[in-house]
Chain A
Amino acid sequence: AQSVTQLDSQVPVFEEAPVELRCNYSSSVSVYLFWYVQYPNQGLQLLLKYLSGSTLVKGINGFEAEFNKSQTSFHLRKPSVHISDTAEYFCASNRGGATNKLIFGTGTLLAVQP
Chain B
Amino acid sequence: GAGVSQSPRYKVAKRGQDVALRCDPISGHVSLFWYQQALGQGPEFLTYFQNEAQLDKSGLPSDRFFAERPEGSVSTLKIQRTQQEDSAVYLCASSSLQGSGILYEQYFGPGTRLTVT
Contact = CB atoms under 8 A, between A and B. Distances in A.
Given A41-B110, A44-B108, A101 B33 contact: yes
Interface residues of A, number: 26
B63 interface: no
B40 interface: yes
A32 B105 CA distance: 11
B1 interface: no
A28 interface: no
Interface string B47-62: 0100000011001000
Interface in A29-70: 32, 36, 41-46, 49, 51
Contacts of A46: 105-106
B109 interface: yes
A28 B40 CA distance: 27
A84 interface: no
B110 A98 contact: no
Contacts of B56: 98-99, 101
Interface string A85-108: 000001010101011111111110
B109 A98 contact: no
Interface of B: 4, 31, 33, 35, 40-45, 48, 55-56, 59, 91, 93, 95, 98, 101, 103, 105-106, 108-111
Interface of A: 4, 6, 32, 36, 41-46, 49, 51, 90, 92, 94, 96, 98-107
18 contacts: A36-B108, A43-B108, A43-B109, A44-B91, A49-B105, A90-B43, A92-B42, A98-B98, A99-B56, A100-B95, A100-B106, A101-B56, A102-B45, A102-B106, A103-B45, A104-B43, A105-B42, A107-B41
